[in-house]
Chains A and B, each alone.
Chain A
Amino acid sequence: MDSAMDSLRSKFLPVTSILAGIVVIWYVGVFFMNAPFQRDLDRRAGVTSSFSELVAKTMSQPKPTLPAPHQVAQNFFENTFLRKITSNRSLVYHAWVTLSSTLLGFAMGTVLGIVIAVGIVHVTTLDRSLMPWIIASQTIPILAVAPMIIVVLAAVGITGLIPKALISTYLSFFPVAVGMVKGLRSPELMNLDLMHTYNASRAQTFWKLRVPASVPYLFASMKVAVAASLVGAIVGELPTGAVAGIGAKLLAGAYYSQTIDIWSALVAGSVVAALLVVVVGLAGRIVDRAMGGRPV
């Protein structure tokens, strides 16, 4: 009970008050950013509105410069819960399109990253020749390649899920490879020597020492990778001409100045990202516990 009160005071209260502060600032911002356009509208219509009327109007424009939080919440709610999931206007549908390519790309990226890491740890040549390139590639704005991959693959007849998933793969394998190399190398010399005294083969050392030691590193880098692959999937949806997915929703909103749609697509993307990170974190905890890790 005491600890619950403690965590309430040390976490819940500060976070909620900061969030409340953000919402207040947001509402103030809504007024100041939408007011000029609203005054303009009023002048053209020949209406003079009092201050309170003006405030109310800035909060309910159909295409505001900055939509009010309740407008975004309403739009998000309508498009998430009140529409058929198969409908083109349903955010669940668009989120699912993005999520499916994210997951496919994330799975491929994780497998690829692990394979590369195992190769780097076991083959000196790869360690010396490939590792510097992997690190250097982190400094390169990889997302710039995304439109080209989509268009070029479309030219050879590959469209839909695969090209987007490839971009996600590309973005997510780096963190996994780097984290996994660190993890597979994390056993100390003492532990490796112990395996040596047991006359363990290379494969046994790998499966019984290196792999278990690398699991925490793997999940930590998978959290980064899953967020990166969502970004990859969203950006991958931009050049396809706004067909489906959260990225397409963003682009369509930008074309038609549907600001409320953009914001609720952003909220949907954030919800998906949060869910993915939480799921990976939970999976990491479950695996850790199943392997006998002590709770920290």
Chain B
Amino acid sequence: MNWLKPSWQTGLAILLVVAAVALGAMTTAETDALANPTTTIAYPYPGTKSLMFGLVALAAIISTLRLPALIEALVLFVGAHLAAWLLIHGIGGFEGTAKAPYFIILAAAWLLAWRCVAVLSSMRPASLWAARALRVLVPTIFGAWILILWEAITRGAGIPFILLPPPSAIGARLVNSLPVLAADVNQTIFKAVIVGYVLGCAAGFIVAVLADRFLFLRRGLMPIGNMVSALPIIGVAPIMVMWFGFDWQSKAAVVIIMTFFPMLVNTVAGLAASGHMERDLMRTYASNYWQTLWKLRLPAAAPFIFNALKINSTLALIGAIVAEFFGTPVVGMGFRISTEVGRMNIDMVWAEIAVAAFAGSVFYGVIALCERAATFWHPSVRGG
């Protein structure tokens, strides 16, 4: 038995394939066709059914053999994804007719993918590049399977479009309404978020430097700053809309207020981060306050400041979008979300959320890149 290497995922997958074969028809259309053999009723998977079953079973059996991990992962990857693709492709035109074997075969393919990810995550490649590629590949497969399951289940079970549209429909909607989405992004992100973020972070930074200079101010502001970070500041949105009108200025004001305190608290903490030894060294150099601040304490505070910038990137987006729920001109991401929800265009809402998620990740990524460039000396970046 030395050449066998069973795992519970593949074992279960084989059992599931057997169960699916035993249960018979994949869809109600197929049941009808089998019941009336004389008439020709179209049904899904006329030729590909045995191919799918065979693929899953074969991939599961091959991976049970003692193979090199890379080959095993490759076999599982191809088996799982080809079967899933056939399954989703075939249901087109027969949405909502799926019966138990459809979901069973989906589960079997998912188990293969799980096994594939498990094999990949247990690999310890020698080269740095391979390790880096694996670190990207494993979460990518995981994310892809969330989409595959979502697509297959919504279409197979015929979940109403207004509850949860399949990812393919969201993607189509996204591509078709690019001009609208671009206008929303321009209004919300390039006007409200960027302006508010820059002003809020700058104000927080300046007040933090002042608070660092004057002990009394620091002692008074820090407890307040820590307290405010727990408060639902988003609630000032209606007030700001009343003061600054419906356009982006009111959203920028909300973003300023939301980003101010995290920046203040983190920068003050960062300015205290440089050690006594270093500060004493600066004293022996006879450097004045500004020299010490500029050459020692601000660089030492950089990781804290970038942490605040990262936290604020998410807060700024949330602030601007939620503030738009309280009133906007007829453009903007929050406006689009709230009105399209009201009109039950759920696919448009999902498209907007996808854009928001993408924008948020890019925003965060840009700051993370800046951080790597600016704090190249820090242990967390050097990897030391």
- Seen from chain A, the residues whose Cβ lies within 8 Å of a Cβ on chain B are 10-11, 14-15, 17-19, 33, 65-66, 124-125, 127-133, 136, 138-145, 147-148, 151-152, 155-156, 223, 227, 230-231, 234-235, 238-239, 246-247, 250-251, 253-254, 257, 259, 262-263, 265-266, 269-270, 273-274, 277
Known A-B contacts: A125-B118, A144-B318. Give 8 more (CB < 8 A): A14-B217, A15-B220, A125-B121, A133-B142, A148-B337, A152-B163, A273-B230, A274-B227
- Which residues of chain A have C-beta atoms less than 8 A from B135's C-beta? 128, 132
Q: Are B341 and A231 in contact (CB under 8 A)?
A: no
Q: Are B117 and A129 in contact (CB under 8 A)?
A: yes
Q: Are A15 and B224 in contact (CB under 8 A)?
A: yes
Q: Are A227 and B230 in contact (CB under 8 A)?
A: yes
**Number of residues on chain B facing chain A (CB within 8 A):** 65
Task: For chain B, residues 119 to 169, give those with C-beta under 8 angstroms from any C-beta of chain A.
Answer: 120-122, 135, 138-139, 141-143, 162-164
Interface membership of B91, Cβ < 8 A: no
Binds A, one of B68-76, B238-246, B291-299: B238-246
CA of A230 to CA of B233, assembled, Å: 11
- Which residues of chain A have C-beta atoms less than 8 A from B229's C-beta? 227
User: Which 6 residue pairs of A and B lie closest in terms of their CB atoms, listed nearest first?
Assistant: A14-B220, A18-B220, A129-B142, A254-B238, A139-B364, A14-B219
Q: Are B232 and A269 in contact (CB under 8 A)?
A: yes
- Which residues of chain A have C-beta atoms less than 8 A from B341's C-beta? 147-148, 151, 239
Q: Are B243 and A65 in contact (CB under 8 A)?
A: yes
- Which residues of chain B have C-beta atoms less than 8 A from A132's C-beta? 135, 139
- Central interface residue in B142, B230, B321, B342, by most chain A CB within 10 Å: B230
Q: How far is the CB of A236 from chain B (nearest CB, A)?
A: 11
Interface membership of B35, Cβ < 8 A: no
CA of A142 to CA of B322, assembled, Å: 10
Interface membership of B198, Cβ < 8 A: no
Q: Are A15 and B238 in contact (CB under 8 A)?
A: no
- Nearest B residue to A149 via CB reads B341
DSSP class of B's interface residues: helix, strand, loop or mixed? helix
Interface membership of B363, Cβ < 8 A: yes
Q: Given the interface contacts A15-B220, A18-B221, does A140 sit within 8 Å of B356 by beta carbon?
A: yes
Q: Which residue of B163, B221, B230, B232 contacts A155 across the interface (Cβ within 8 Å)?
A: B163
CA of A247 to CA of B234, assembled, Å: 10
- Nearest B residue to A224 via CB reads B230
Q: How far is the CB of B370 from chain A (nearest CB, A)?
A: 15
Q: Are B238 and A274 in contact (CB under 8 A)?
A: no
